Amino acid sequence: MVNLRPARHRASADWPAYLADRAARRRHPLLADYFATGCPAPETPIAEVPMVAMDMETTGLDARRHAIVSIGLVPFNLSRIRLAERRYWVVRPPRPLSRESVTYHHITHSEVADAPDLEVVLPDLFEALAGRLVVVHYRHIERPFLDAAVQARLGEGVRFPVIDTMSLEARIHRQSLWARFRRWMGRPPVSIRLQNSRARYGLPAYQGHHALTDALATAELLQAQIAARYAPETPVGQLWS
């Protein structure tokens, strides 16, 4: 059997092997090039890893029923967030926009109607992602949506390691002894949403719901988390999932 569908929770050390495997078995050249760039070894210090913060606006929360509306990317590493190299695309979802998602994202019907299909931006998207570790806040949106969208267009899916700033925040605030103690005391759990997480590190409040602003906000949050809770030497394998 060809191992095209990896287990949901794959051990982190498997990521380089998985990507190499995918590169070898590629059918679509676009994906082959992407997978060929591989990813850093799990023991690489986070300070040496080129990253890219990604955020998407989608028409809903279910990758099987909803679609991507916009994608924002901001390349960065531990020392700098390179806003000048930011990328942003609005794409036309195959399914029409629902009224609710319009009010949620402030992206209008006319804006979307003029936008290209995701397939047109895929080459640019993969080029921007290649060689960079993706960083998201809440991985259960960006990764499955991209997987489903690419599957639908290129006939094969795409999976890659991500650092999820929300799960890093959850490790501290939801899984620690202190967090369990709080729960036992009947206290509400600490919010690990992007804005609330940022506030804990003294990061300014941004207007949410724009893919690029949120990507920038996520990159800043990861820098803050590493500075406060980890170290530049922390192996990337401890952070990705």
Token duo for residue 240: 């990705």
Token duo for residue 205: 């409040």
Local structure of 146: helix, strand or coil: helix
User: In the complex with another protein, which residue's Cβ is closer, 41 or 205?
Assistant: 205
Separation between Cα atoms, residue 9 and residue 118, nearest integer Å = 27
Nearest distance from C-beta of residue 6 to another protein, angstroms? 33
Nearest distance from C-beta of residue 75 to another protein, angstroms? 10
The answer to whether residues 239 and 163 touch, using CB atoms and an 8 Å cutoff, is: yes
User: In the complex with another protein, which residue's Cβ is closer, 103 or 188?
Assistant: 103
Residues lying near another protein in the complex (CB under 8 A):
72, 76, 79-84, 86, 88, 103, 106-108, 110, 201-204, 206-207, 210-213, 216, 219-220, 223-224, 227-228
Nearest distance from C-beta of residue 196 to another protein, angstroms? 15
65 exposure class (CB count in 10 Å sphere: 0-12, 13-18, 19+): exposed
User: In the complex with another protein, which residue's Cβ is closer, 107 or 150?
Assistant: 107
User: In the complex with another protein, which residue's Cβ is closer, 14 or 111?
Assistant: 111
Token duo for residue 98: 């629902």
Nearest distance from C-beta of residue 22 to another protein, angstroms? 32
Separation between Cα atoms, residue 134 and residue 217, nearest integer Å = 14
Answer left, alpha or beta for residue 53, where phi above 0 means left and psi between -120 and 50 means alpha. Answer: beta
User: In the complex with another protein, which residue's Cβ is closer, 1 or 84?
Assistant: 84
Length of the chain: 241
Specify the DSSP element, H or E, that contains 162. strand 162-164
Nearest distance from C-beta of residue 84 to another protein, angstroms? 5
Output the CA torsion 206→208→213→215 (10° steps): 110
DSSP code at position 235: B
User: In the complex with another protein, which residue's Cβ is closer, 39 or 165?
Assistant: 165
Nearest distance from C-beta of residue 68 to another protein, angstroms? 17
